[in-house]
Amino acid sequence: QSALTQPASVSGSPGQSITISCTGTSSDVGGYNYVSWYQQHPGKAPKLMIYEVSNRPSGVSNRFSGSKSGNTASLTISGLQAEDEADYYCSSYTSSSTWVFGGGTKLTVL
C-alpha cells in the first residue's frame, strides 16, 4: 500500500493555470477510474473536488478539472484565485479493496 506520488509543491499567479500530477500503479490509478481529489485548508477537513477521475460534485467550481492517462492522474486548476491556496491530495481505489492517498501537494498562489 505505497502512497501515490505527487509533487510536494506547485505555485502559480492569479489567473494562471496549474496542474498537479498523481502517479500510481496498474493496481490503483491505472486499473480503475476511481481517482478522486481533495482540497484541504489549514486546520480544516478535506473537501472533495473531483471524483471518478473527472467528475465535479455539486458546488465545486468548473475551474477544477481532472484527467487520467495510464498510471498518472492530474488535477488542473484554471483561473487561479487566492482562495485556491491549500493542500491537495489525490486518492485511488485499489485492487486490494482499499484506498490509497497521495503524499499531498501544497499550492501557493503568488
Counting other chains too, the contacts that 10-15 makes at CB distance below 8 Å and 24 or more residues apart are 10/105, 10/106, 10/107, 10/108, 11/107, 11/108, 11/109, 11/110, 12/77, 12/80, 12/107, 12/108, 12/109, 12/110, 13/80, 13/109, 13/110, 14/80, 14/81, 14/82, 14/109, 14/110, 15/79, 15/80
Q: Report the residue number, 64 or 89, with the smaller CB distance to other proteins.
A: 89
Which residues in the 24-83 window bind other proteins by CB under 8 A?
32-36, 38, 40, 45-48, 51-52, 57
Q: Report the residue number, 18 or 49, with the smaller CB distance to other proteins.
A: 49
**Least distance from C-beta 53 to other proteins, angstroms?**
8
The count of residues interacting with other proteins (CB under 8 A) is 28
| Binding interface with other proteins (CB under 8 A) | 1, 3, 32-36, 38, 40, 45-48, 51-52, 57, 89, 91, 93, 96-104
